[in-house]
Amino acid sequence: MLVIGVDSATWDVILPNLDRLPNFRQLMEEGEHATIHLNQKPWSPEVWCTMFTGLPPEEHGHHDFVVNGEIVRREDIKADFIWDILDRAGVRVRALNVPFVVPPYCYKVDFTPVAGGVPVEQHELLEEIEKVTEKALEVLENDAPELFILAYTALDKLSHLHWGEPVLVDFYQRVDTAIGRLIPYDDEVMVISDHGFCDYDAAPVRTLPKRTPKGEIKGDHHPDAILIKKNIPCEIRQPADVFHCIKSRFLP
């Protein structure tokens, strides 16, 4: 099973641009797609952590990338992730660039994070898409994992500053191309985001101030995330269901 996380991917950008996103389109046609209306706050570290621990934020206890001026590490989170559980059961599992911590987390994949794990500039975001994809191809070809989870973080960073601008669609296209290189390796594929995005002024949750050193913030997180899945029969209504879905697939 191949699980591709696309941080902040949003139907509002994907659906009107499907002619430029052939791999999203193909997966949607071959599989099924849905909107996940988050019951929890659309806050990246909490949602990714819920998705792969199966626990709500109050149970996994991980709320932010930085707490009291200290970067939170995987070891600080007192919960088992899906890769921990499946690995103990003998499933060959790998994870790459999963952004519940900074730098994004890898499990049994040796990866040097781009820009120290906090890519912000456009050339750094492009580099992240390229390097994650190259490493993912290496893992798929050499390790042949039974479960491979990877994520792209670039769209979240870019959407804050460039929501509504053509450059954002260009980046969706880059992610689409990357996905197209990965999906031939597996029949069971899931593409999922941790939250959506919308106009800053319409955002129910503000994760940044309107003005930042990088410029004016144009977009912010929306509680509608995306889900596309192919040959994965279980029902996914909330991020925690991803954990249960994967677990039931490998440990029925």
Q: Does 128 bind Zn ion (CB under 5 A)?
A: no
Q: Using the rule CB under 5 A, which residue among 8, 50, 97, 133 binds Zn ion?
A: 8
Q: Does 23 bind Zn ion (CB under 5 A)?
A: no
140/193 with CB nearer Zn ion: 193
Q: Does 194 bind Zn ion (CB under 5 A)?
A: yes
186/224 with CB nearer Zn ion: 224
Whether omega for the bond prior to residue 103 falls within 30 degrees of 0, making it cis, is yes
Q: Does 224 bind Zn ion (CB under 5 A)?
A: no
Q: Using the rule CB under 5 A, which residue among 10, 23, 44, 97 binds Zn ion?
A: 44
43/83 with CB nearer Zn ion: 43
Nearest 5°: the CA angle 124, 162, 57 is 80
Q: How many residues bind Zn ion (CB under 5 A)?
A: 5
Q: Is 211 left (phi over 0), alpha (psi -120 to 50) or beta?
A: beta
Q: By Cβ distance, which residue is nearest to Zn ion?
A: 44
Interface with Zn ion in residues 138-177 (CB under 5 A)? 156
Q: Which residue has the tokens 């750094």?
A: 124
Distances (CA, A) of 177 to 25, 165, 180: 12, 20, 5
DSSP state of 143: T
**DSSP SS3 for 232:** coil
Distance CA 51, CA 249 (A): 15
Structure-block tokens of residue 57:
């934020």
Q: Looking at 42-50, 106-114, 166-174, 209-217, which segment touches Zn ion (CB under 5 A)?
A: 42-50
Binding site for Zn ion (CB under 5 A): 7-8, 44, 156, 194
